[in-house]
């Protein structure tokens, strides 16, 4: 089965978003709305916050739909 995913990269950090895993808890949006905005396309804009803030927010994703890819 093919799993849909999208990546977003900034300053050596890559966020993986797997929409099929998302439970729409809204934690990402409420925690860092300047980066995670479902009304925009693309809905993740990593230019709007420092990478450490983004990484901390991604770690709060309860479903694992958002994750940080290891650096190669």
Tens-binned pLDDT, residue by residue, of the chain (72 aa): 557 999 999 998 999 999 999 999 999 999 999 999 999 999 999 999 999 999 999 999 999 999 999 875
In the chain, domain spans: 6-69
Q: Which two tokens stand for residue 41?
A: 């396309």
**CATH, domain range 6-69:** 3.30.70.20
Q: Which two tokens stand for residue 46?
A: 């990593």
The CA distance from 14 to 55, in Å, is 9
The CA distance from 55 to 58, in Å, is 5
Entry pTM? 0.89
pLDDT of residue 72: 53
Count CA within 13 A, CB hemisphere, residue 52.
0
């Amino acid at each position: 089965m093919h799993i849909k995913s999208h990546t977003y990269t900034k300053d050596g950090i890559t966020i993986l978003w797997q929409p099929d895993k998302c439970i729409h808890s809204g934690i990402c949006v409420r925690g860092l709305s300047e980066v995670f905005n479902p009304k925009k396309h693309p809905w993740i804009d990593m230019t709007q916050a420092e990478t450490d803030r983004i990484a901390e927010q991604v770690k709060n994703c309860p479903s694992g739909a958002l994750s940080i890819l290891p650096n190669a």
